[in-house]
Amino acid sequence: MIPTFPWPHGKRCAVAVTVLFDDGLDAIARAPDLAERAKSFSVWEYGAARGVDRLCTLFDDLGVKTTWFVPGEVAIKNCDAVATVAGAGHEIAARGVGFEDFSTLGRQAQKNVLLRSADILAEVAGQRPNGFRLPRGLWPRHFDQVLKEAGFDWSASLNGDDAPYVHSSSLVEIPVHVELEDRPYFQFNFAPAFPKGLGRIASYEGVLHNWKVEFDAYHQYGCCYVLQVRPEMIGTPGRIFILEELLQHILQHDDVWLATGGEIASWTAQQASTLETGHPLNIFEHYRKEQGRD
């Protein structure tokens, strides 16, 4: 099968390894009482204590450059760790300041949070971010325009494709998918059960198999494979070997472009073309117009 997206240097597909360094802000946003539960919350504290170093060591050993999404409050709290990650050549991207739900904020408030997050990361990491991932909540109407106004060039927040595309504002979107995320497989807490209703601690062999199968399919179709991992989830002694074996599998292919989010976005912007009528983004816009929601 011939890939339909033109990757650089004749590569067949792209791979981006992304790290969500939320340091528990994501958990507290969904269950505020966790902040008062020291035992339960320690699950999320493990990432900063052990997972970050373990990930950095693995990436350095394999020569893999990655993209880390870091909320502003996490960068302030873990300034040395974030500076070390950036100093190792990894890209630092934004994820709000305090894990905000941007859909509850007005347009100017959204922009203010984005600018504040960029200022914090620029000071801590020594690089001003141009990439963003939505912390939680819904994607606000015209949010791509707000991101561009705040100085961002790309987002990795939406799910409606398996190759990058460009919003009408010229913001590049790098789609992500939950099956390539570690949290649904590994997040676990006995009491209270958190989050309720999810499966508990998947088989390591099963997770590795899933991620390899997904990569093989993305490779065949010429898509953009975006892995999403968290220091507190994938960074344990056993699970880090899942990631290591996956990356070794990917690195065996010499026709794969292993890149940061910013590199993929920059390339996509150069290849930009109008979205086809049937693209999910256009279908959604058409639906809104039919419903009189413009």
Distance CA 241, CA 11 (A): 27
Give all domains of the chain, ordered by start, each with its CATH number: 8-290 (3.20.20.370)
pLDDT along the chain (294 residues), means of 10: 81 98 86 76 85 98 99 97 98 98 98 99 97 97 97 96 92 96 81 60 93 98 97 96 99 98 96 59 52 58
Distance CA 24, CA 32 (A): 10
User: Residue 292 has what pLDDT?
Assistant: 62
Burial 243-282 (b: 16+ CB within 10 A, else e): beebbeebeeeeebbbbbbbbbbbbbeeeeeebeeeeebe
Distance CA 94, CA 121 (A): 8
Distance CA 37, CA 16 (A): 35
Q: Classify 228 as helix, strand or coil.
A: strand
User: Residue 36 has what pLDDT?
Assistant: 78
* Number of other residues whose CB lies within 10 A of the CB of residue 82: 24
User: Residue 275 has what pLDDT?
Assistant: 53
Q: Classify 81 as helix, strand or coil.
A: helix
* Tokens standing for residue 284: 């959604």
Cis peptide before 6 (omega within 30 of 0): no
User: Residue 34 has what pLDDT?
Assistant: 74
- Report if pTM > 0.85: yes
User: Residue 45 has what pLDDT?
Assistant: 85
